Amino acid sequence: MKVLIVEDTLSLATVYEHHLSRAGIETTHVETGQAALSKIRKGGISVVLLDLQLPDMNGLEVLATVREEQLPVTVVVVTSSGSIKTAVDAMQAGAYDFIVKPVAEERLITTTRNALERETLTEVVAEVRKPSGGKANHGFVGSSLPMTAVYKMIESVARSNASVFITGESGTGKEVCAEAIHKSSPRAKKPFVPLNCAAIPKDLIESEIFGHVKGAFTGATGDRDGAAARADGGTLFLDEICELELSLQAKLLRFLQSGTVQKVGSDKLTKVDVRIVCATNRDPQEEVEAGRFREDLYYRLHVLPIGLPPLRARGADILELARHFLTKFGSEEGKTFEGFSVEAEELLMRHPWPGNVREMQNTIRNLVVLNEGPIVEVDMLATLQGRQPSAPKPAQTVPLSVPQAASPASTVVSDTGDVWPQITLSLGQPFETLERSIIEATIDACGGSLPKTARVLQVSPSTLYRKKEIWAAQDGDDTGVAGSEPDEDDMAVNS
């Protein structure tokens, strides 16, 4: 990296060159503004020490040209003690720093080194941001540094056949990332088969992955290929892989090691060629330490890790995504929106986006459907109101309509005249947490009867049994409610 000294006084230029060379900094020297611009345009210059009083033009003109042409250099202005205001003006025009004549050796060296470091960082950022192919953002929207790093990683891992492990919060785009890897890989013309391990019942997940033969279980009326066989030659994406039971994790590990598929109910092994991409919104290492995820499977899958940043860490991408969805959904709904007001943009930037891009999609679709353009105002972002961390709302009470004797201060009378207890819920929690609090309070008020609770909440008793089983598993309770049979009340509800 070279420093260009632009100084028409030869004695001063010689002193600057001497000081900088002693510090190991390479320099070159010109006496005029035009010569400086010519040198910069040819390249190879990282930092310019620019005198403002030049024989052919003012140094501010040189600075203006550098800025206008976006020449890749960092400029340090050198000025006399009586021209401090001019130096400040130069910094406002794009100069990195200024030094005052007569220049002390230590000040000259320190300022020049800082400028060189800044230019190095600028070059690194520019290299990271530079698109490396026609794929651009691989289906994502956003050009922040965290996302450009993801784009680079996608392009790097796509060429390999090794397993990819994608982590990130819900709604950050893990499936988009997986499909981008597939489309950028040599397997692009073969199938991409996604499978959400959390959305499939436990007793069917093995069949969904490996397939089954006729008669393997009740309802298996014919042979069926699983996702692994359907992805032969392509990519198998296993989303929410940490939801797999340990017994099935062992079978998945055997499949990865052997490359063969054994259908449920069959003794035959079939060779397949698939690349595995998996994802989770949990911390896989924590799952391993807790004994919920096999360590050998983790190391088999965690070869090429990619971490997707949450939306709140993507800076200006928030507004870029909001504008993208506003245009997209506006077109779908036949409405014209030109953009967001300043106040609306500030609200979007302040919001923590716990649901990430998925929450952004729902928010923008909601405002497009319920409002008319052309400018989105704050009051149109109703779903975000009251959820800003700077202004939390007080807890609100939610009355539960369950008959139970209680003091008047803690009860509410329903339309039917029954007396029901009340609970207090703090807003700002995940929906699942609020739902569990309401259901468990209702069960307690019903004396532990799930069928009675189901009647009160107007849901199926089987829904409550299933939720209780899930909560028991999450809490580490092996008893759960597995095997619970519906009683007569349950039958009455179902009838």
Residue 409 confidence (pLDDT)? 41
Residue 130 confidence (pLDDT)? 54
Residue 160 confidence (pLDDT)? 92
What 3-state DSSP class applies to 233? coil
Instruction: Say if 137 falls within a structural domain.
Output: no
**Pure H helices in 245-392:** 246-258, 284-289, 295-301, 317-333, 342-350, 356-370
H/E element holding 129? helix 105-129
- When the pLDDT of each residue in the chain is averaged and rounded to a whole number, the result is 82
Residue 78 confidence (pLDDT)? 87
* pLDDT band per the 50, 70, 90 thresholds, residue 79: confident
Instruction: Say if 389 falls within a structural domain.
Output: no
Angle 461-474/450-457 helices, nearest 10 degrees? Answer: 110
104 and 219 share a domain?
Answer: no
Mean pLDDT of 243-256: 93
406 and 475 share a domain?
Answer: yes
378 and 440 share a domain?
Answer: no
More confident residue, 472 or 170: 170
What percentage of the chain reaches a pLDDT higher than 70? 84
What percentage of the chain reaches a pLDDT higher than 90? 45
Residue 303 confidence (pLDDT)? 93
pLDDT tens per residue across span 149-190 = 899 899 999 999 999 999 999 999 999 999 999 999 999 999
Mean pLDDT of 71-88: 77
pLDDT tens per residue across span 354-364 = 999 999 999 99
Residue 289 confidence (pLDDT)? 93
H/E element holding 11? helix 10-22
Residue 123 confidence (pLDDT)? 64
The pLDDT of residue 337 is above 50: yes
Q: What is the CATH number of the domain that holds 334?
A: 1.10.8.60
The pLDDT of residue 304 is above 90: yes
Residue 83 confidence (pLDDT)? 61
Residue 298 confidence (pLDDT)? 95
For residues 310 and 169, is the Cβ–Cβ distance under 8 A? Answer: yes
The rounded distance, in Å, linking the Cα atoms of 314 and 206 is 37
239 and 356 share a domain?
Answer: no
Distances (CA, A) of 422 to 10, 66, 303: 87, 69, 51
Pick the last residue of a domain from 93, 128, 163: 128
Residue 202 confidence (pLDDT)? 84
Pick the last residue of a domain from 326, 357, 384: 384
Instruction: Say if 391 falls within a structural domain.
Output: no
Pick the last residue of a domain from 307, 326, 352: 307
Structural domain that includes position 170: 145-307
Mean pLDDT of 22-45: 90
Burial status of residue 452 (CB atoms within 10 A of its CB: 0-12, 13-18, 19 or more) = buried
* pLDDT band per the 50, 70, 90 thresholds, residue 97: confident
Instruction: Say if 275 falls within a structural domain.
Output: yes
Burial status of residue 475 (CB atoms within 10 A of its CB: 0-12, 13-18, 19 or more) = exposed
288 and 167 share a domain?
Answer: yes
Q: What is the CATH number of the domain that holds 83?
A: 3.40.50.2300
The pLDDT of residue 415 is above 70: no
Provide DSSP, 444-475. HHTTT-HHHHHHHHTS-HHHHHHHHHHHHHHT
Instruction: Say if 259 falls within a structural domain.
Output: yes
Residue 477 confidence (pLDDT)? 53
Instruction: Say if 140 falls within a structural domain.
Output: no
Q: DSSP state, 394? A: P
- In this structure, of 70-79, 188-197, 252-261, 280-289, the range with the lowest mean pLDDT score is 70-79
253 and 190 share a domain?
Answer: yes
* pLDDT band per the 50, 70, 90 thresholds, residue 385: low
284 and 165 share a domain?
Answer: yes
319 and 369 share a domain?
Answer: yes
Q: Both tokens of residue 84?
A: 């401090």
What 3-state DSSP class applies to 165? strand
Task: Report the number of distinct structural domains present in the chain.
Answer: 4
Residue 391 confidence (pLDDT)? 38
Residue 319 confidence (pLDDT)? 92
What lies within 8 Å, CB to CB, of 47 at 6+ separation is 1, 2, 3, 4, 73, 74, 75, 76, 112, 115, 116, 119
What lies within 8 Å, CB to CB, of 470 at 6+ separation is none
More confident residue, 120 or 283: 283
Instruction: Say if 152 falls within a structural domain.
Output: yes
Instruction: Say if 139 falls within a structural domain.
Output: no
pLDDT tens per residue across span 264-295 = 999 999 999 999 999 999 999 999 999 999 99
294 and 318 share a domain?
Answer: no
Q: DSSP state, 392? A: P
Q: What is the CATH number of the domain that holds 275?
A: 3.40.50.300
170 and 269 share a domain?
Answer: yes
The pLDDT of residue 127 is above 80: no
Long-range contacts of 475-482 (CB under 8 A, 24+ apart): none
Residue 227 confidence (pLDDT)? 95
For residues 325 and 302, is the Cβ–Cβ distance under 8 A? Answer: no
153 and 288 share a domain?
Answer: yes
The pLDDT of residue 128 is above 80: no
Distances (CA, A) of 314 to 143, 148, 329, 340: 9, 10, 22, 19
160 and 294 share a domain?
Answer: yes
Distances (CA, A) of 95 to 79, 87, 91, 122, 311: 12, 9, 4, 14, 33
